[in-house]
């Protein structure tokens, strides 16, 4: 394939050339994935009726021992999972449903749907966050829908590879920092699913690099440069994202060190041979974009250190 081809021809060329790969990776995924049941991860014994038709107790902040940052992480992660109808639509529209592609998208959707089911049940039974605020944000998020920023099919594949890696890290870190064994067990189970999804898309990218490395590098550059978490269009995203960053669950440092760098390294992006000038240029640009993210991560670390010093100063004087 040639990066200079007409865009429609290029898109349909990718779909046809990669279909046998999708078929093989889907078979491998099905042999690796293990059935699990959300209801087994939910602490039902801690649950009790809420106010409303059942006349129970309304949610109050003191009912959960989780820190505010972890509550925000749970909310953000759940709301991100909640927008699955939008992602299903985007993948079906921008990648396609032909043959094995459609089979993969349906399998992936069924697995993803489990994540919001399990997280919401955990949050409700443990009273981790305000269920009324959560439901209002879910309505607003799903009504907003999801419109990918990436325009080409390959940039969308790159985006989901990065996004799966990001959600894996975000769920895992939220569980680790939660101080709650039930929360950590559930989030690491979800992170295992996200890991297999990431491996699927990463290996699909690896196969694409063998077909046309220049075109894939251009798509990588487009995606990494404009990357935003899928929930960014949701009202209230900025505050939640800041809470999550300050809690050490997901910030630019994590995005750079635990998502982008390992993903690009495992695809051997920096040592790919035989690139044409357009591919070389895209790779150089990609390196510059990564350096920029690293620099912004360093600046944010300084802000974080100032904030935490100011907070401990307040605690000492209080």
Q: Which residues bind Fe ion (CB under 5 A)?
A: 81, 112, 115, 164, 194, 197
Least Å distance between CB 115 and Fe ion? 4
Least Å distance between CB 75 and Fe ion? 15
3-class SS of residue 151: coil
Q: List the one residue out of 255, 240, 234 whose CA is nearest residue 146.
A: 234
Dihedral Cα 107, 110, 113, 114, nearest 10 deg = -100
Which residue, 197 or 283, has its beta carbon nearer to Fe ion? 197
The tokens describing 187, both together, are 């989030």
Which residue, 194 or 203, has its beta carbon nearer to Fe ion? 194
Least Å distance between CB 105 and Fe ion? 12
Q: Which burial class, exposed, middle or buried, applies to 302 when counting CB atoms under 10 A from its CB (0-12, 13-18, 19+)?
A: exposed
Least Å distance between CB 174 and Fe ion? 13
Alpha-carbon Rg for the chain in angstroms? 21
Which residue, 77 or 178, has its beta carbon nearer to Fe ion? 77
Which residue, 110 or 314, has its beta carbon nearer to Fe ion? 110
Q: List the one residue out of 40, 202, 29 whose CA is nearest residue 117.
A: 40
Least Å distance between CB 213 and Fe ion? 26
Q: How many CB atoms lie within 10 A of CB 144?
A: 14
Which residue, 117 or 312, has its beta carbon nearer to Fe ion? 117
Q: List the one residue out of 182, 80, 201, 73 whose CA is nearest residue 141.
A: 80
Least Å distance between CB 111 and Fe ion? 7
Which residue, 189 or 253, has its beta carbon nearer to Fe ion? 189
145's enclosing H/E stretch is none
């Amino acid at each position: 394939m040639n990066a200079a081809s007409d865009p429609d021809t290029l898109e349909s060329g990718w779909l046809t050339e990669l279909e046998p790969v999708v078929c093989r990776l889907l078979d491998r995924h099905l042999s690796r994935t293990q059935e699990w049941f959300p209801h087994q991860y939910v602490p039902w014994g801690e649950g009790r009726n809420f106010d409303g038709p059942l006349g129970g107790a309304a949610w109050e902040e003191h009912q959960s021992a989780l820190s505010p940052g972890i509550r925000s992480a749970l909310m953000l992660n759940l709301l991100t999972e909640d927008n699955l109808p939008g992602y299903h639509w985007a993948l079906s529209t921008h990648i396609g449903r032909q043959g094995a592609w459609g089979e993969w998208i349906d399998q992936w959707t069924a697995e993803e749907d489990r994540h919001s089911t399990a997280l919401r049940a955990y949050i409700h039974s443990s009273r981790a966050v305000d269920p009324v605020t959560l439901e209002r944000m879910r309505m607003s998020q799903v009504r907003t829908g999801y419109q990918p920023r990436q325009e080409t099919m390959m940039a969308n594949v790159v985006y989901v590879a990065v996004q799966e890696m990001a959600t894996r890290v975000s769920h895992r870190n939220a569980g680790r920092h939660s101080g709650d064994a039930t929360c950590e067990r559930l989030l690491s189970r979800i992170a295992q699913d996200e890991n297999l999804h990431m491996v699927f898309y990463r290996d699909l990218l690896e196969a694409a690099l063998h077909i046309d490395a220049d075109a894939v590098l251009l798509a990588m550059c487009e995606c990494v440069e404009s990357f935003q978490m899928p929930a960014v269009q949701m009202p209230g995203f900025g505050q939640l994202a800041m809470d999550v960053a300050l809690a050490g669950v997901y910030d630019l440092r994590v995005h750079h060190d635990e998502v982008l760098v390992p993903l690009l390294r495992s695809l051997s992006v920096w040592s790919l041979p035989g690139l044409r000038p357009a591919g070389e240029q895209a790779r150089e640009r990609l390196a510059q974009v990564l350096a920029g993210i690293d620099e912004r991560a360093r600046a944010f670390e300084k802000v974080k250190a100032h904030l935490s010093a100011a907070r401990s100063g307040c605690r000492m004087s209080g």
